Amino acid sequence: MLTRKQHELLMYIHRHLNETGYSPSFEEMKEALDLKSKSGIHRLITALEERGFLVRRAHRARALEVVRMPEDLGPRRGAAPAAKEAAPPAAPTNVVPFRPTPAPSQDVIPLPLFGRIAAGIPIEAMRDTGNMVDVPAAMLGGGEHYALEVSGDSMIEAGILDGDTVIIRRDDVAENGAIVVALVDQNEVTLKRLWRKGGSVALEPANKSYETRIFGPDRVQVQGKLVGLLRQYH
C-alpha cells in the first residue's frame, strides 16, 4: 500500500510522462507536492522503486519510468491487461526486484548538475537545475555539494579529463594547492589549482601546455573545492 505522498508523486510522474514524453525534474516534483526540499522527493522515489512502481535509469538525468500503477487504477497506458481477479497480477518483466534499503556506504545521493566548466579556456558555468547525477554517499562529507561536467584538458596531469564529472563542495575559502571552482571577474568560471601569494592569486593548470594566470585578489572568488570525480567508460 502506498502512502498519500507516494501515490501523489506516482500520479504526477505518470501524467508528466504522458503529456511530455520525459519525467519531471526534482524541482518540478518538489513544487508539485509542495515539499520544502528535494531530499523528500528522493526518499519518495526510492520507496516507489522498492515497491516496484518506478525504475530509475542510473547515470541519466530525467530517466524515471513508471512500470506499475496502483491496482485500483489499473495498468499504465500501453501496459499488458491485468490478470484475472482470482490470480495475483503478473510481475512486470522490467521491474527491479525488491531490495532492502542499502547501507549508507552503498547509498547514492542525487546532486544538481550545473553544466560544463572549463578546464582550459574559462567559460561561464551554466546552471541547469533540471539535471541530476547520482553520487555515492561515501564520497560526500558535510556541507552542500553540486556537480559540474569538465570541458577541456588543462587539468589532465591531476587526473581530470575532458568529459569527467567533478563533485564540488560549496565553499568560499580554500587552502593553497587546492583544486577549486574559481569565478573570475564575475563572469568566467574555471577549474584550477589555487595559490595565494602576497596580494595576488594564481590559477594554475595541471598541463604544461597552459600558462598560470595571475590576478588581483578582488578579481577571483572561490565557489567550491573539488572533493571527487565520476568517469564513464564507453
Catalytic residue ranges: 154, 192
Nearest Cα neighbor of 225 from 154, 156, 148, 162 is 148
- Per the CB < 8 A criterion, the answer to whether 126 and 189 are in contact is no
Q: First CA to last CA across the chain, in angstroms?
A: 40
What are the distances in angstroms from CA 104 to CA 8, 77, 169? 27, 36, 19
Which residue's entry shows cell 563533485? Answer: 167
Which residue's entry shows cell 574559481? Answer: 182
Within its chain, how far is the Cα of 99 from the centroid? 23
Which residue's entry shows cell 522503486? Answer: 49
Exposure class string for 84-116: b at 16+ Cβ within 10 A, else e: eeeeeeeeeeebeeeeeeeeeeeebbbbbbbbb
Q: Which three cell numbers stand for residue 211?
A: 600558462
